[in-house]
A = this chain, B = another copy of it.
């Protein structure tokens, strides 16, 4: 599958590297290719020669699945740059969290309670098939869940399009996830985005990001 991963940070690199390793054709999208290449990208790219790099629109144009791995603030600008027409009809896996660091640490959420970033993206790009997922755990566990309790923990999908959720669920299963819970429509992204505050506190208490919730039932 052709996959565009928008975002060159820790999450974008984790998803791009893992998807390429699994045989997908992956292009990472960035705002400005030259700026990204001038940073520490080249070192990472040398270790991942199969992953391409392009501007947001070029990366998205021929992708079947687009991953929003930008920061919460950067999501709508990046997707706008990718282009509404380039997103139309495509599965858009949204991993971003709307974190607001303006008041210091821990961050609050800039969208919360009666709305979510997932919903905002779906409203802004009504022809995209948005699926919120993987925003509830650290990047290394998103892509390599079996390293913790042999994968015995849970992730979630939220979205209005059942087929898009099926495609994302299959991708998650290929990463090693064994418990992907379908919470319902895109409004259920409020629930997973609102997990961030307890995630941040658990990170502080446990002293590691390698943890996740298992929904015991």
Residue positions of A touching B, CB distance < 8 A: 103, 108-109, 112-114, 148-149, 152-153, 156, 181-184, 188, 190-192, 194-195, 197-202, 204-206, 208, 210-217
Contact = CB atoms under 8 A, between A and B. Distances in A.
Contacts of A217: 148, 206, 208, 210-211
Given A113-B109, A195-B194, A184 B204 contact: yes
* Copies of the chain in the assembly: 2
A184 B205 CA distance: 8
Given A149-B216, A194-B194, 12 more contacts: A109-B113, A181-B202, A190-B197, A191-B198, A191-B199, A191-B201, A210-B217, A211-B215, A211-B216, A212-B216, A213-B214, A213-B216
Nearest to A214: B214
A192 B213 CA distance: 13
Nearest to A156: B198
A156 B213 CA distance: 13
* Pairs A-B, 7 closest by C-beta atoms: A191-B198, A211-B217, A191-B197, A213-B213, A194-B194, A214-B214, A153-B216
Contacts of A195: 194-195, 198
Contact of A194 (B156, B197, B204, B211): B197
B211 A183 contact: no
Given A181-B202, A205-B183, A216 B215 contact: no
A181 B217 CA distance: 20
A108 B112 CA distance: 10
Contacts of A204: 184
A194 B184 contact: no
A188 B196 CA distance: 12
B192 A198 contact: yes
Contacts of A108: 113-114
A199 to B, nearest CB: 8
B181 A205 contact: yes
Nearest to A217: B211
A202 B182 CA distance: 9
